[in-house]
Amino acid sequence: MALRVSAAALVAEARARIPEVETADAIADLGAEDLVIVDIRDVRERQRSGFIPGSVHAPRGMLEFWVDPESPYHREVFAQTGKRYLFHCASGWRSALAVATLQDMGFDAAHLRDGFTDWVEQGGPVEHPEPKD
């Protein structure tokens, strides 16, 4: 089966129209009061690889509903005024698509260009969940 548009093409189109943040800049900005870092990776990825300290987890499949103030699934973390939202996944593909969709909805956000993998490679701090008993 041939697709009309590949996943890579969708990501490239999204990246061409959304703000991208370089890893070094995000590491330097970590802890800024106006910054909300949103991890859209699967919960198992967070458990296995750790996460950026202070980041909020929002599963990719629920993101549009959590951001929408009229949705019954809305989360208050996405209703904060004066905040900068930086989304990330493992490599920057899912977060590019997510941020493009959120911008289509009217939600201002950026994404971590090269994702959590690059964050780790560049020495960004990582927290690990407490082991379950």
Is the pLDDT at 133 greater than 90? The verdict is no
**Which pLDDT tens digit goes with each residue over 75-121?**
999 999 999 999 999 999 999 999 999 999 999 999 999 999 999 99
Backbone dihedral region of 75: left (phi > 0), alpha (psi from -120 to 50 degrees) or beta?
beta
Residue with the two structure tokens 């809305």: 74
Q: Which residues pair with 112 in a beta bridge?
A: 21
Burial class of residue 119 in the structure, from the number of CB atoms within 10 Å of its CB (0-12 exposed, 13-18 middle, 19+ buried): buried
Nearest to 109 by CA among 31, 39, 26, 18: 18
Distant-in-sequence, close-in-space partners of 89: CB < 8 Å, separation ≥ 6: 39, 40, 41, 60, 95, 98, 115, 116
Q: How far apart are CA 83 and CA 101, in angstroms?
A: 19
Is the pLDDT at 132 greater than 80? The verdict is no
